């Protein structure tokens, strides 16, 4: 179905871990929340490797149509997925994993913006 720009699509769900945890550093499904933890833990990771929902299967693109943003609702910190543009029925939902995701794993992005593998812009 069609999704309107600004529409909330869902929350990235998973196990919340300190960024220093081994699982947080090796999981392909780890989403880092910088500056959203208590002072003694500067970063948290939401790891959807084993505990997650459909949002963990959203692919990356350097031209995303969805923003994945850290937000706080009351005392709960979440990663919210919101449509940045109108998305047509059948169109793929895409976020930008960011340059760090690819660089830290030693892999390249293979999205539609280039015929060659590349690192996303900053």
Q: How far apart are CA 96 and CA 111, in angstroms?
A: 10
The pLDDT value recorded for residue 40 is: 58
Residue 39 within a domain: yes
Residue 110 within a domain: no
- How many distinct structural domains can be found in the chain? 1
Mean pLDDT taken over the chain? 88
At 116, the pLDDT band (50, 70, 90 cuts) reads very high
- In tens, the pLDDT along 31-61 reads 887 665 555 556 788 899 988 999 999 999 9
102 by DSSP, 3-state: which? helix
At 84, the pLDDT band (50, 70, 90 cuts) reads very high
User: Residue 66's domain spans which residues?
Assistant: 7-105
Residue 112 within a domain: no
Q: Residue 22: which CATH number?
A: 2.170.270.10
Closest by CA to 18, choosing from 8, 30, 6, 9, is: 30
Q: How far apart are CA 68 and CA 30, in angstroms?
A: 13
- Is the pLDDT assigned to residue 94 strictly greater than 80? yes
């Amino acid at each position: 179905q069609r999704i309107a720009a600004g529409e909330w699509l869902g929350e990235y769900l998973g196990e919340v871990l300190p960024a220093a945890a081994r699982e947080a550093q090796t999981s392909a499904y780890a989403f880092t929340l910088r500056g959203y933890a208590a002072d003694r833990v500067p970063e948290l990771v939401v790891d959807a490797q084993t505990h997650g929902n459909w949002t963990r299967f959203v692919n990356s693109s350097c031209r995303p149509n969805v923003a994945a943003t850290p937000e706080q609702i009351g005392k709960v910190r979440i990663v919210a997925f919101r449509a940045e543009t109108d998305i047509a029925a059948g169109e793929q939902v895409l976020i930008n994993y960011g340059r760090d995701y690819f660089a830290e794993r030693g892999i390249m992005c293979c999205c539609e913006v280039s015929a060659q593998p590349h690192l996303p812009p900053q």
